[in-house]
């Protein structure tokens, strides 16, 4: 009997080991954590680490596995995607208050971990990860750039418009040829557009060309928050276009222009703001409800832009005080065009 019990225990331990290894194999792009490497790979890391606490026999964990693998590939070089077998390492899991599986936490250098409570899909997870990167890097815009803005743009630039687009609405315009792959289901950056009294939207203020090498360090971080959604331009061409048309009219350096655009995207997440106000795709809403929801978070009324056919919401624009480039303001009358949205706005799904 004792021998049989020993054999049964051996089989059980072996099965548990196989189950644990089956979730993330040795060739996985997901960093596998243990108590031995947790400090060096997570707590002492110089970058954001996204950790999944899983259990081998957890059905939800198995469903998440292929998504987590894809997230590790998409975020490579930007965020470390890792996993810890919380069943095998109970004391470490207990230290972080893990009570259910899977539990996802973001660890940023010098900050307490942040729980992820969103949808378990690739878009939502990668968006959350990139937000954590930019919350961590929010102070990295150089002070000299800020000083330049304060000194030179306040008398020249009347406002700086933060423009974000809803691809599913933009692509309702029959004149626009959109990519055939899955369109983003989040608001993404269109650009930062300087405006002034003499010319509401100046463009191509210099012939300073943007080369891919100029923003190479940011490229992995731009693909999700600032993608091209049309077939006429790939991502690099889109970024080059935005810099040439609008960036050259600002006093941002090239890399600061793009970093600041994404910093704003992460700081006030338009998609999340609307969702928290009960405004979700697939329905029509009174435009005042959308404006009120965004004003509650930014202190400023946005400008809504719609596709004429169907009155689909295409863009949301917010004006920033050029002396800070971070404080929202009422858009000056001189740059407000005739409203393009009817009272009831369709939010395309």
Contact 296, 267 (CB under 8 A): no
- Closest residue by Cα to residue 218 from 188, 258, 187: 258
Handedness of CA 95, 100, 273, 46 (dihedral sign): positive
Reading phi first (left if > 0) and then psi (alpha if -120 to 50, else beta), residue 225 is in alpha
DSSP letter, residue 170: H
Cβ atoms 256, 139 nearer than 8 A: no
C-alpha of 263 from chain center: 9
Place of tokens 């090239």: 254
Distance (Å, rounded) from C-alpha 199 to C-alpha 334? 9
Q: Which of 194, 134, 135, 137 is nearest to 323 (CA)?
A: 194
314: preceding bond cis by omega (within 30 degrees)? no
**Cα–Cα distance, 5 to 21 (Å, whole number):** 24
| Side-by-side strand order, sheet with 49-54 | 31-33, 80-85, 49-54, 103-107, 114-115
Q: Which of 327, 301, 337 is nearest to 154 (CA)?
A: 327
Going by the DSSP 8-state scheme, the letter that residue 37 receives in this structure is: T
Closest CA to 110 of 88, 86, 139: 139
Whose tokens are 């959604």? That residue is 229
- By annotation, the residues acting in catalysis are 190, 242, 246
Q: Are 126 and 224 in contact (CB under 8 A)?
A: yes
Residue reference for tokens 């936490």: 105
């Amino acid at each position: 009997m004792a021998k049989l019990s020993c054999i049964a225990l051996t089989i059980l331990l072996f099965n548990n080991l196989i189950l644990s290894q089956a979730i993330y194999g040795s060739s996985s792009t997901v960093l596998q954590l243990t108590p031995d490497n947790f400090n060096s790979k997570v707590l002492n890391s110089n970058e954001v680490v996204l950790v999944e606490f899983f259990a081998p026999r957890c059905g939800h964990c198995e469903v998440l596995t292929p998504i987590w693998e894809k997230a590790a590939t998409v975020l490579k070089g930007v965020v470390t995607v890792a996993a810890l077998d919380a069943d095998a390492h109970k004391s470490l899991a207990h230290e972080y208050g893990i009570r259910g599986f899977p539990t996802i936490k973001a660890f940023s250098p010098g900050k307490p971990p942040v729980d992820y409570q969103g949808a378990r899909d690739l878009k939502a997870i990668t968006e959350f990860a990139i937000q954590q990167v930019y919350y961590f890097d929010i102070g990295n815009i150089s002070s000299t750039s800020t000083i330049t803005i304060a000194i030179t743009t306040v008398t020249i630039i009347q406002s700086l418009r933060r423009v974000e687009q809803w691809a599913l609405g933009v692509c309702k315009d029959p004149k626009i040829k959109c990519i055939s792959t899955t369109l983003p289901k989040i608001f993404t950056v269109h650009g930062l557009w300087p405006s002034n009294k003499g010319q509401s939207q100046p463009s191509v203020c210099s012939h300073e060309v943007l080369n891919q090498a100029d923003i190479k360090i940011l490229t992995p971080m731009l693909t999700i928050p600032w993608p091209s959604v049309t077939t006429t331009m790939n991502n690099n061409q889109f970024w080059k276009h935005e810099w040439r048309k609008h960036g050259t009219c600002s006093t941002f350096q090239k890399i600061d222009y793009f970093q600041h655009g994404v910093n704003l995207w992460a700081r006030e997440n338009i998609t999340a703001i609307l969702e928290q106000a009960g405004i979700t795709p697939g329905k029509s809403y009174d435009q005042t409800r959308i404006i009120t929801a965004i004003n509650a978070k930014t202190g400023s009324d946005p400008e809504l832009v719609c596709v004429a056919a169907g009155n689909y919401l295409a863009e949301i624009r917010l004006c920033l005080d050029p002396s800070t480039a971070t404080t929202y303001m009422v858009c000056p009358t001189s740059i407000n065009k005739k409203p393009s949205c009817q009272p009831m706005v369709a939010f395309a799904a």
